């Protein structure tokens, strides 16, 4: 509101439109704006949003730490991530009919990490111990209660390798170095339990998530599916999420979209569109095309009434574009037409997803 007042004072007239763009925590803030202050912005871009914040800290940050650190033998060193990522790609890359190093829809990937289990006498540097395999499966499966009830969805296969993969976010370059560990430890010590000696290994998913939600959920969470006030005042929301995000599960964004659809009714795409970005890691990078202009698409939607069915994403090597692909409004995914270069967006069409995970 102060920004609008400054613009009006400086230009002697009010701004015609107001837009918000953010990713990760910025994506969470964008979602909070749409839910809590629907009159602030005409259009919002919320990328890879951490909007289910309390469960995210518990079911992602802390869960991945528990998977790899509660038992020291479960830790997966950074130099094994290329092995895991390579195995996933070998099993699932061509499910979309193209061998390009990108999982177009990782929900269809059913790879079993047990295939990497060390055999008798095998060099452990070239395989995964049973405890490391269990850690991978725990991360992919998502946070669950003792009864198996899902608290927060797991990461998708395909985001393990590379400079922005699990070694950066999920496991760290060494034990207790990942951003997940540091964020989760501080969150529960100082924001939830007010106890600097709290030990993360004592976390109880059956009780502690509810404690955290009661303590800080009302302030931090931006997962309210009732976007009716935002919709009714004409607001437009574009959300996007990297399908290879090693920090925040893209399934969280899918779940939120589906909950909004159920809560508000009508056509969600009239005011809210979700784009899943194959091969993109957290907000940027990864093997897939991840450069796209969501703000320009939002402006056309707000100012010209042209809703974005697709956005063209580019992949750059050495600063030069070497691949483009269309990003399709959920629930559709891009599919190669069967002719023409698979590095050119014009040779793809948006179709209904064939399978989900």
Which position among 48, 282, 290, 315 bears the catalytic label? Answer: 282
**168 counts as catalytic:** no
For β-strands 236-242 and 272-277, DSSP reports them as: parallel
Among 324, 295, 325, 321, which Cα is nearest to 308's? 295
pLDDT at 31: 98
Count the neighbouring beta carbons within 10 Å of the beta carbon of residue 142: 18
Backbone angles phi, psi at 328, to 5 degrees: -105, 140
Which position among 24, 82, 179, 314 bears the catalytic label? Answer: 24
pLDDT at 180: 76
- Distances in Å between the Cα of 3 and the Cα atoms of 7, 15, 18, 21, 23 are 6, 10, 10, 15, 20
**40 counts as catalytic:** no
**24 counts as catalytic:** yes
pLDDT at 127: 97
**327, β-bridge pairs:** 311
Among 86, 83, 84, 69, which Cα is nearest to 174's? 69
List of domains in the chain: 16-52+222-352 (3.40.50), 53-219 (no CATH)
Question: What distance, in Å, lies between the first and last C-alpha atoms of the chain?
Answer: 42
pLDDT at 357: 41
Which position among 96, 105, 221, 245 bears the catalytic label? Answer: 245
pLDDT by position in tens, the chain (length 357): 788 888 888 898 888 899 999 999 999 999 999 999 999 999 999 999 999 999 999 999 999 999 999 999 999 999 999 999 999 999 999 999 999 999 999 999 999 999 999 999 999 899 999 999 999 999 999 999 999 999 999 999 998 998 889 998 888 888 888 877 788 899 999 999 999 999 999 999 999 999 999 999 999 999 999 999 999 999 999 999 999 999 999 999 999 999 999 999 999 999 999 999 999 999 999 999 999 999 999 999 999 999 999 999 999 999 999 999 999 999 999 999 999 999 999 999 999 987 444
């Amino acid at each position: 509101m102060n920004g609008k007042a400054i613009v009006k004072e400086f230009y002697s007239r009010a701004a015609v439109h107001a837009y918000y763009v953010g990713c990760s925590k910025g994506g969470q803030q964008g979602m909070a704006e749409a839910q809590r202050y629907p009159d602030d912005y005409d259009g919002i871009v919320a990328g890879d949003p951490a909007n289910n914040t309390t469960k995210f800290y518990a079911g992602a940050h802390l869960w991945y730490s528990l998977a790899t650190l509660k038992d020291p033998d479960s830790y997966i060193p950074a130099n094994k991530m290329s092995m895991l990522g390579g195995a996933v790609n070998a099993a699932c890359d061509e499910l979309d009919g193209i061998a390009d190093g990108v999982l177009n829809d990782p929900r269809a990937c059913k790879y079993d990490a047990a295939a990497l289990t060390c055999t008798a006498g095998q060099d452990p540097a070239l395989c995964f111990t049973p405890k490391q395999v269990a850690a991978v499966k725990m991360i992919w499966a998502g946070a669950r209660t003792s009864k198996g009830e899902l608290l927060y969805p797991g990461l998708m296969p395909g985001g393990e390798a590379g400079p922005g993969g699990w070694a950066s976010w999920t496991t760290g370059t060494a034990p207790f170095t990942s951003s997940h560990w540091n964020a989760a430890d501080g969150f529960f010590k100082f924001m939830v339990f007010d106890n600097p000696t709290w030990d993360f290994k004592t976390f109880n998913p059956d009780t502690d998530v509810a404690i955290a939600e009661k303590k800080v959920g009302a302030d931090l969470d931006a997962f309210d599916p009732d976007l009716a006030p935002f919709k009714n005042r004409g607001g437009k929301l574009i959300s996007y999420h990297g399908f290879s995000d090693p920090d925040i599960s893209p399934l969280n964004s899918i779940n939120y979209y589906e909950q909004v659809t159920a809560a508000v009714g009508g056509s969600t795409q009239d005011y809210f569109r979700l784009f899943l970005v194959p091969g993109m890691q957290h907000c940027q990078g990864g093997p897939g095309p991840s450069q796209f202009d969501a703000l320009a698409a939002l402006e056309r939607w707000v100012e010209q009434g042209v809703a974005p069915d697709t956005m063209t994403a580019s992949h750059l090597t050495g600063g030069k574009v070497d691949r483009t692909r269309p990003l399709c409004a959920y629930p559709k995914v891009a599919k190669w037409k069967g002719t023409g270069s698979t590095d050119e967006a014009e040779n793809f069409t948006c179709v209904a997803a064939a399978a989900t995970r």
